[in-house]
Amino acid sequence: MHRDRPTFVSHLECSMTGERYEADRLHGLSRVGRPLLVRYELEALGQAVSRDAIAARPTDLWRWRELLPVRRTASIVSLGEIETPLVPIPRSGGPGAIVKDEGRLPTGSFKARGLVMAVAMARELGVTRIAMPTNGNAGAALAAYAARCGIETVVLCPEETPEVNVREIAAQGARVWRVNGQIDECGAIVARGAAEGRWFDFSTLKEPYRIEGKKTMGLELAAQFGWELPDAIFYPTGGGTGLIGMWKAFDEMERLGWIGSKRPRMYAVQASGCAPIVRAFEAGVDHAERWEDAATVAAGIRVPRAVGDFLILRAVRESGGRALAVGDPAILTAVDEAARKDGLLLCPEGGATLAAYRQALADGLVDPEERTVLFNCATGLKYPMPPADNWLDRNAEIDLASL
């Protein structure tokens, strides 16, 4: 394959057994049914580019191109993936609370990071039709990027998926279907079609490249913090791709000599109505049993079973962090207070990270002065808001003091 971009992929590797798989070929899960991880020739990469050279580039996702898998420039599909800002929230969170606001990305969520990479690689490897289950934002990102490069898409959504997400997916050209089930049950339908050769399965972690897009969150954090990492990260965890990706990014950067061995404590945040990772963490096991009757206002983390459960739990434990669950009332209160006190409109999943952080402060797990990053994974504008019903009749006498 002609390489006209400097990339250093050496092979793919089973995340459970370490078995090697050839790069530049289409892969799903490994032989033992676990995610594949992309591995790089890091010594050659380090000789080819320095962190200072990367720091001098425009601050978009593609500044990290040597650490990404796309080989052909023509394969890149982009809608303008910016580096997302760090926004302090001192009044609702405290002096150490910093939100990484992923809602600024194309299609309004951090799913753009994973899907831009996965779609670019699908394009590079000749995929023409993709299917995926989604709770909303991932489907929107897939539809947008696939539309841009002419790949056909079929998207299955649980029936509780927010209406705006379903319509957004349809508007961007996907064939979207509501399903009377949860996301893993949608995924089972997608898997059946993939087994029959009808499409390529783009379910979370069932292809290797979404992790590579999501790991750019970790690369960005290192650059934004002056090549040191924050003390703690609170991450809304459904499939957990971003948490796994960041942990991978930290390891790659240390091996390159770009950062030291310090790691943030990783807090995997779930809703108490769907908390399989929390249950597995507290039980001290490596795999999470399916969570039955999952229900939460935070649709993006309503994932009853994650194929990368052991990778999430490994990162949390190795970092000295925890898996934490918060209830819907705490989530909605956090969303309300971040908006009213700090002017930042969080999505429910972002609200979950703030709620979990506040609980962690109260429990002494986190020091208020520690630099702690909370991920807001989507713009709050996609979600229902409380009514605002005040009304003025301009023709009547108005008591201005009462306004």
Residue-wise pLDDT tens digits, 316-366? 999 999 999 999 999 999 999 999 999 999 999 999 999 999 999 999 999
Domain ranges of the chain: 86-108+211-381
251 and 315 Cβ atoms separated by less than 8 Å:
no
CA distance linking residue 78 with residue 32, whole number of Å: 33
31 and 19 Cβ atoms separated by less than 8 Å:
yes
For 284, the token pair is 């001290």
CA distance linking residue 246 with residue 207, whole number of Å: 17
* Average pLDDT estimate for 263-277: 98
233 and 373 Cβ atoms separated by less than 8 Å:
yes
* Average pLDDT estimate for 231-250: 97
Phi-psi region of 153 (alpha: psi -120 to 50; beta: other; left: phi over 0): beta
137 and 377 Cβ atoms separated by less than 8 Å:
yes
CA distance linking residue 279 with residue 260, whole number of Å: 32
pLDDT at 5: 59
pLDDT at 1: 38
Per-residue pLDDT of 10-29, as tens digits, reads 999 999 999 999 999 999 99
Q: Which of 189, 113, 120 is nearest to 148 (CA)?
A: 120
pLDDT of 255 strictly over 70: yes
Q: 7 falls in which pLDDT band (50, 70, 90)?
A: confident
pTM above 0.85, yes or no: yes
pLDDT at 212: 98
Sort strands 175-179 and 322-326 into parallel, antiparallel or unpaired. unpaired
pLDDT at 205: 87
| Entry field: residues in the chain | 403
- Tokens 């229902």, residue? 384
Q: Helices 137-149 and 111-124, interaxial angle, to 10°?
A: 40
pLDDT of 275 strictly over 90: yes
How far does the chain reach from its first CA to its final CA, in angstroms?
67
* Average pLDDT estimate for 184-202: 96
352 and 331 Cβ atoms separated by less than 8 Å:
yes
With a CB cutoff of 8 Å and minimum separation 6, the contacts of 123 are 75, 77, 149, 151
pLDDT at 118: 97
292 and 304 Cβ atoms separated by less than 8 Å:
yes
Bridge partners (DSSP) listed for residue 9: 40
In a 3-state reduction of DSSP, which class is residue 269?
strand
Per-residue pLDDT of 110-135, as tens digits, reads 999 999 999 999 999 999 999 999 99
For 330, the token pair is 């705490």
In a 3-state reduction of DSSP, which class is residue 276?
helix
- Tokens 């379910």, residue? 203
CATH of domain 86-108+211-381: 3.40.50.1100
* Average pLDDT estimate for 125-153: 96
Average pLDDT of every residue of the chain:
96
CA distance linking residue 137 with residue 107, whole number of Å: 8
196 and 342 Cβ atoms separated by less than 8 Å:
no
**Residue 348: φ, ψ to 5°:** -60, -40
pLDDT at 2: 39
Q: Which of 248, 252, 267, 259 is nearest to 224 (CA)?
A: 259
